[in-house]
Structure 1
Amino acid sequence: MAKHRIAVIGLGKISQDQHLPVIDASGEFELAAVVSTRGLSQGGVPSFRTPAELYRAMPEIGIVAVNTPPDVRHAIAREALAAGKDVLLEKPPAATLTELADLEALAEAKKRVLFATWHSRFNPAVEAARTLLAEAGLRSLRIEWRENVKKWHPGQDWVWEPGGFGVFDPGINALSIFTRILPAIPFVRSAELTYPSNRQTPIAAKLVFASADPAAPALTADFDWRETGGETWHMLIETADGRSARLFKGGAALEVDGRVTVEAPSEEYQHIYRHFAGLLDARRSDVDGAPLRLVADAMLVGRRLTTDAFDW
């Protein structure tokens, strides 16, 4: 079977680290072109400054991956859908809920495939954790997602601008797992959002959730971009039947009562592109706005705190 030919729009860190190597090694896709406002190129394929230039020069390319910062993602994805392209969206899929709803409606109207990716959901232990909670019930869950912004977003000022998400850029990865494994729909009861005095997005956030679950589990999250040790990407879980579990390594491993039950190398993006190939073959979209809704809710109900200025 012929590979799907795909163009990548945006050659920032996530494209360089994940998308391009995975496409290069993929059995389902091959890189046909790239779009970079900085004029970057990749692997000898044609490079364009704007998506419009790509569409004029190579109208036969029917699939694009949009890996730009979220504040411009909607306009670029909308242009692609209007041009008749199937679209893969890096997370978060848009800067606002209405932008995402607009893209979903346009994809349906144009009969195009739209895939809003949540890469952390594709880690091997996530479905095992979901099955565990469905069978055992949930007493409590605490998200601890802490990392060093200087390591993971070096010099990327867009994360501090409106629409850049701040600490919710990595935090939404945890929320994507959270909304996948939880037996009931969560909503934000309260939030404390800590902003550097010179920035527009939070560097830390503490959230308390509620749900319609009659067992009323205790659900909290602690996100922080000021971690200077190692990364902490885990969820501490107590099941209703008395078991203690930890989903860790960003979802790549699950430990139950002190015994590791699932652990495998993280191949999130390999699984994303395999899933996308299946969506393309089935002509079906996959768009879930639940993680983005929780971020929006936190911003709506959150109490603002201020901390020291942040500089690179």
Structure 2
Amino acid sequence: MSSLKLGLIGAGKIVRDQHLPAIRQTPAFRLAATADPYASLDDVPAFTEMHAMLDAHPDIEAVSICTPTALRFETARAALSRGRHVLLEKPPGATLSEVEALIELASQQQVTLFAAWHSRYAPGVAQAKAWLANRRIDQVHIEWKEDVRVWHPGQAWIWQPGGMGVFDPGINALSIATAILPAPFFLQKAKLWMPENVQAPIAAKLSFVDAQGAAIAADFDFRQTGAQTWDIHVESDDHSLSLTQGGCKLAIDGEVILDEEEQEYRGLYDHFAELIGAGRSAVDIAPLRHVADAFLYGYRETTEAFIE
């Protein structure tokens, strides 16, 4: 199978850090051009907007949309309308209704739409899911804490409506939890800490329960300094499972059974190619639904202003 020509919409930090290396390692795709009004990549044809890119390169068959969240819907709708397969960086949209509209449009256009929950492709996630599949879940504790100044320097959009604040990384944890836990779970209460000068939370605590009564707690914080924390701990049938380092390290009953380097985005692009080849889409809205529930149901507490 020949490589599919791919266009990148957005050429910022996440593209440079993750997408570009993964595309270079994935034989199924060949990067043809980028579209970004403010940035470009070395040795890649660059355009300031997507339509100009597609007009100049009509052989581009697929695009990856890596813009700030609030911009993704119109960009994705335009790409799907022009018959291109679309990979959406997480979260797939600023609202659930946007994502549902894109799912319908992709079906009408008979092209692939892929909501790319990259954390699900961490090395330990599939094995954790298999181990938990037929077990009774007793309790789960999710701790996802990082330094926003390290991971989102100068990215003011993350504090605006649709930017999601601490849920930008927190939704990664929820994408793993919804993948590995054997039953759906539901929000019971939430507390969101809102800096007085922005529109999105800097920290959040969430309490969920599943249909069997298992308690699932999530603690997200953008104010972590020093060592960063991306951990999920599950108690199940008198056993324990710990998925740490963002899913790269897996321990069962305290014994480390997997500890590998992160290769999430390579897995994303491999799966995107498989979906295109099979003529299918994959858009799971469960992680975004949990974030929407938190904003809808959460108690807000004002905290000190965020100054970068």
| Structure 1: gaps of 5 or more residues | none
2:225 matched residue in structure 1: 228
2:193 matched residue in structure 1: 194
Per-residue deviation at 1:24? 1.8
CA RMSD, Structure 1 to Structure 2 (Å): 0.9
| TM-score in terms of structure 1 length | 0.97
2:245 matched residue in structure 1: 249
| TM-score in terms of structure 2 length | 0.98
Deviations 1:49-100 (A, max 9, x none): 1111112212221110000010010010000001111000100000000000
| Structure 2: gaps of 5 or more residues | none
Per-residue deviation at 1:218? 1.3
2:267 matched residue in structure 1: 271
Corresponding letter in the other structure for 1:97? L
1:3 matched residue in structure 2: 3
- What SS does the corresponding residue of 1:88 show, helix, strand or coil? strand
1:306 matched residue in structure 2: 302
1:57 matched residue in structure 2: 56
Distance between the aligned counterparts of 2:42 and 2:269, measured in 1?
Answer: 19
Q: Does 1:111 align with 2:110?
A: yes
* Change in 2 beyond 3 A, CA 1:242/1:142: same
Distance between the aligned counterparts of 2:20 and 2:268, measured in 1?
Answer: 13
Corresponding letter in the other structure for 1:27? P
Q: Does 1:100 align with 2:99?
A: yes
Distance between the aligned counterparts of 1:171 and 1:156, measured in 2?
Answer: 17
1:150 matched residue in structure 2: 149
Corresponding letter in the other structure for 1:121? R
Distance between the aligned counterparts of 1:136 and 1:113, measured in 2?
Answer: 34
- What SS does the corresponding residue of 2:34 show, helix, strand or coil? strand
The within-5 A match list for 1:31-180 is 31-38=31-38, 40-180=39-179
Return 42-51 or 146-155, whichever deviates more.
42-51
The answer (yes or no) to whether the contact 2:5–2:59 under 8 Å persists in 1 is: no
Distance between the aligned counterparts of 1:46 and 1:232, measured in 2?
Answer: 38
% identical equivalent positions: 49
Corresponding letter in the other structure for 1:200? Q
Corresponding letter in the other structure for 1:293? R
Distance between the aligned counterparts of 1:230 and 1:32, measured in 2?
Answer: 38
Corresponding letter in the other structure for 2:29? F
- What SS does the corresponding residue of 1:136 show, helix, strand or coil? coil
Return 125-134 or 86-95, whichever deviates more.
125-134
Paired residues in the alignment total: 308
Runs of 4+ in structure 1 displaced over 3 angstroms? none
Distance between the aligned counterparts of 1:285 and 1:245, measured in 2?
Answer: 31
Per-residue deviation at 1:127? 1.5
